[in-house]
Amino acid sequence: MKALIKSLLIIISLAIGLINPLFAIDQQSIETLKKQGFEVRMGELTGAGSKMSLTRLAGFIHPQGVIMKNEIANIVVSPSSTPNISDVKKIQVGNTFIDARDLEGFFVR
């Protein structure tokens, strides 16, 4: 019985880790990004993002954590000749889609 309970607890903790791989974002995380040489922009993507090419993107800031560009499986943008960060509609991280309205900011090199 104890082995069954331990197995269930291990499976549940692994499942939680796979479902929610993001970590809580705080001011210290933002300062760490700045110290690593990133330019951090908080707020809607439409403001400063309208002036920056998507090729400069290094990652997004979500309420639950930092999402690096290499963790993003797909970026859905509105049609444009040269997509800017403001053109992002949603992103895919693993099997999860995140709407651009849920993102709190972004960072670039």
Going from the C-alpha of 82 to that of each of 35, 50, 74, 86, 106, the distances in angstroms are 29, 11, 17, 11, 18
pLDDT of res. 22: 42
Rounded distance between C-alpha atoms, residue 5 and residue 44, angstroms: 45
pLDDT of res. 27: 79
Q: What is the pTM of this model?
A: 0.71
What string of pLDDT tens digits covers the 109 residues of the chain?
655 565 555 655 555 544 444 445 667 888 888 899 998 888 878 776 778 889 999 999 998 888 999 999 999 998 877 888 999 999 999 999 999 999 989 999 8
